[in-house]
Amino acid sequence: MYEFEWAKKDLWQRAAQPEKSASTSLDSTQVESTELLHWREHCLECALPECYKACPLYAPRPDQKCARFAYGIYPNPNLTGLLDCGADIQFRRWAKLETTLFGTMLDVRWHRRLHQLDKYASRIVNFLSEILARVSPRRRLNGALTYFRNILFRNLSFGREHGPYDAFVLECYSL
């Protein structure tokens, strides 16, 4: 799953797009379960919060944190795998993609449902945060979503135990 809440569709549409759709080369019927991961944007040289004032590369997101990707992590429906979209990213200088291992294995069906629920929750929180931007310019609702998402992901009990893996699959396309 991905941190889609900061995706900017207008910037994504202006960026170079793949010439054709791409789907995974992995046979999804062969996948029994997946590790719960949440991929987010980070910086290689981050020194919070001082970097927001001193770093010449600081580009504010709506929550006043740094936008290290040109248009966030955009849910590109033309790039599919086990989920209904792929993560489209254009890295800025010093940007990195980072994830958290929550130690929870989910069957693919549950992972897809959780992904959809997370996308809807992000949309609702972004909508409400936009309305409340004058009262909460740092978008505290988005921070609360991140906090509760992390708690939920760490405490999921309906998945399989963190167990032995037989493969790690990451498919990337570069323009």
Residue 72 lies in a domain: yes
Residue 170 lies in a domain: no
16 φ/ψ angles, rounded to the nearest 5 degrees = -65, 135
pLDDT tens-digit series, residues 72-125: 999 988 887 888 888 999 999 989 999 988 878 888 899 999 999 999 999 999
Q: Provide the domain limits for residue 43.
A: 4-155
Domain count, the chain: 1
pLDDT tens-digit series, residues 39-65: 999 888 777 778 888 888 889 988 888
Residue 167 lies in a domain: no
Is 37 in contact with 102 (CB distance < 8 Å)? Answer: yes
What is the pLDDT confidence band of residue 149, given thresholds at 50, 70 and 90?
very high
